[in-house]
Amino acid sequence: MGRPRWLSKEEKRAWNAFITAHALLFQRLDQQLKRDMGLSHLQYEILARLSDTPDRELRMSELADAVQNSKSGLTYQIGQLEQVGLVRRRNCRNDVRAVYACLTDEGMAQLERAAPGHVAMVRELFIDAMTPDQLRALADGLGEANRRMRESAAESAGASGLEAR
């Protein structure tokens, strides 16, 4: 491992833009979802993931994985969503340990009310600010970064037997 190279001007510009964009974007998106729908972005994501599924349900672990959240964090959020009737828990018949989180009709309805405004805002703030070329380059570049991170995570998990998150 050689002497660490600092970031060049251009590299720093990209990294900064990335961090700032995320902060600014989620400041707005979170706030809008909360104000209009009483949902945090995480809750929205949970509902959205569930709705994308054939039976509108997922196991806790899968869901935690899908929304990139810790298991205990998900337990908490599902608890919240259950209290307000947007999600319901169901036990699995084959595996007593497993629990499914299921989107209720009410939850689906709420998601459908929330989605248009949310999507409009994503479009306005993110999509429309970039050219199609830039959008593609971003998807390709970050996609590759994601692939690498997933791969190296899988490796080290396999090597050490550790299971973080």
Partner DNA sequence: TGTGGATAGTTCAAATTTTAATTCAAGATG
Partner DNA sequence: CATCTTGAATTAAAATTTGAACTATCCACA
Residues near DNA (CB under 7 A) are: 34, 40, 42, 59-62, 69-78, 80, 89, 92, 94-100, 161, 163
Question: Considering the complex, what minimum distance in angstroms separates the CB of residue 61 from a second copy?
Answer: 17
> Residue 33's closest CA among 101, 119, 91?
119
Contact criterion met (CB below 8 Å) for 99 and 90? yes
Residue 100 forms beta bridges with which residues?
A: 59, 90
> Residue 48's closest CA among 128, 116, 120, 121?
116
What does 61 bind: a second copy, DNA, none (CB cut-off 5 to 8 Å by kind)? DNA
Question: Considering the complex, what minimum distance in angstroms separates the CB of residue 128 from DNA?
Answer: 26
Binds a second copy by CB under 8 A, chosen from 106, 144, 154, 155: 144
Binds a second copy by CB under 8 A, chosen from 92, 109, 142, 157: 142
How buried is residue 111: exposed, middle or buried, by Cβ count under 10 Å (0-12/13-18/19+)?
buried
C-alpha to C-alpha distances, 42 to 3, 142, 149, 162, nearest whole angstrom: 40, 21, 22, 26
Pick the closer one to DNA by CB: 9 or 97. 97
Cα 124 from chain centroid (whole Å): 19
Q: By CB under 8 A, how many residues form the interface with a second copy?
A: 56
What does 22 bind: a second copy, DNA, none (CB cut-off 5 to 8 Å by kind)? a second copy
Is 71 among the residues that bind a second copy (CB under 8 A)? no
Is 154 among the residues that bind a second copy (CB under 8 A)? no
Contact criterion met (CB below 8 Å) for 44 and 114? yes
Which positions touch a second copy (CB under 8 A)? 1, 4-7, 10-11, 13-15, 17-18, 20-25, 27-28, 31, 68, 115-117, 119-120, 122-123, 125-127, 129-146, 148-150, 153, 164-165
